[in-house]
Amino acid sequence: MTNKLKINPPLFLVSTNWPCWKCDTRIPLAALLAIKVDEINGDICKLTNITQLPDEILAFIQSRVPSFKYSYSMTISTKYFANTCPNCGVMQGDFYLHSEPGSPFFPMDKKEARALFMTEIPLTEPLWIEADYELGAPCEMIYTHAKRV
């Protein structure tokens, strides 16, 4: 169900801290934001339900958020690269993190977008990632207002 996407540089790691839905510990979360994807005409998008990810990208994400890993989702009965809680181990599903207004990666306004951090992942050439994607206002909001670090 996911798409093989050709991602051209730049690709951004977006991160934040947020309470785990299960144990309420504040945990680090990671997401990917792409702005030049061949299959999507120049729209900014968030990658979700990532099923295939080049090793160097995973290594970069894990250098900041080690609890981002290939995990089994009981919700959709498949594995994908997801955030997990370093305290209780529970997966923080992409739907929960991305898809509802006010979710950590679904900022509703400038202020919520400013609570996010954005880092460019060093890339010299295009790469392929298998994933779904989400478009729209939250992506623009993150791209415009997240703190560049």
Residues lying near Zn ion in the complex (CB under 5 A) are found at: 20, 22-23, 85, 87-88
**CB of residue 21 to Zn ion, shortest distance in Å:** 8
Which of 8, 87 has the CB closer to Zn ion?
87
**CB of residue 89 to Zn ion, shortest distance in Å:** 7
Which of 53, 85 has the CB closer to Zn ion?
85
**CB of residue 20 to Zn ion, shortest distance in Å:** 3
Cβ neighbors of 143 (< 8 A, separation 6 or more) are 12, 33, 35, 44, 118
Which of 29, 146 has the CB closer to Zn ion?
29
Which of 11, 92 has the CB closer to Zn ion?
92
Q: Are 12 and 121 in contact (CB under 8 A)?
A: yes
**CB of residue 19 to Zn ion, shortest distance in Å:** 8
Which of 27, 121 has the CB closer to Zn ion?
27
Cβ neighbors of 16 (< 8 A, separation 6 or more) are 28, 29, 104, 105, 115, 116, 117
SS3 percent helix, strand, coil of the chain, rounded to 5, is 20, 45, 35
**CB of residue 141 to Zn ion, shortest distance in Å:** 27
Cβ neighbors of 71 (< 8 A, separation 6 or more) are 79, 80, 81, 82, 84, 91
**Best CA proximity match to 34, nearest among 116, 95, 102, 120:** 120
